[in-house]
Amino acid sequence: DQQVKQNSPSLSVQEGRISILNCDYTNSMFDYFLWYKKYPAEGPTFLISISSIKDKNEDGRFTVFLNKSAKHLSLHIVPSQPGDSAVYFCAASAGLGGSYIPTFGRGTSLIVHP
């Protein structure tokens, strides 16, 4: 039973356009969310995070939006660049009363075409 779901296994976007990667979760105890990016033959690297007390966090071209009532978050990349082509993992963790161990989704493979 997946608590963190990334329902789109892949996404293809033209360079310069917006990439939107989606993530849904089921556990209402989750209060911290992270996005990781993974290139082939490398480990995931941290990209951006958001606490449940916020609904938006921005870092350069990357913005994460959180909709707690819908248990949904999304990562926006604007403008998309070919170097952004990678697998993106959504992760969630629970603080007070929860586990310290992040739960990961299955990832979405983003391809940005020149």
Partner 1 sequence: GAGVSQSPSNKVTEKGKDVELRCDPISGHTALYWYRQSLGQGLEFLIYFQGNSAPDKSGLPSDRFSAERTGGSVSTLTIQRTQQEDSAVYLCASSPTRGPYNEQFFGPGTRLTVL
Does position 10 bind partner 1 by CB under 8 A?
no
Coil, strand or helix at 62? strand
Q: Is 51 in the site for partner 1 (CB under 8 A)?
A: yes
Query: CB-wise, 43 or 114, nearer to partner 1?
Result: 43
d(CA 38, CA 51): 22
* Binding-site member from 45, 59, 81, 82 for partner 1 (CB under 8 A): 45
User: From CA 23, how far away is CA 8, in angstroms rounded?
Assistant: 9
Q: Which amino acid is at 27?
A: N
Residue with structure tokens 């990961």?
104
The answer to whether 9 and 3 are in contact (CB under 8 A) is: no
Q: What is the residue type of 15?
A: E
The full length of the chain comes to 114
Say whether residue 34 binds partner 1 (CB under 8 A): yes
Considering only 8, 32, 61, 111, the residue that binds partner 1 (CB under 8 A) is: 32
Residue type, 58: E
Binding mask 59-98 for partner 1 (x = CB under 8 A): ------------------------------x-x-xxx--x
**Interface contacts to partner 1, rule CB under 8 A:** 4, 6, 31-32, 34, 36, 41-46, 49, 51, 89, 91, 93-95, 98-107
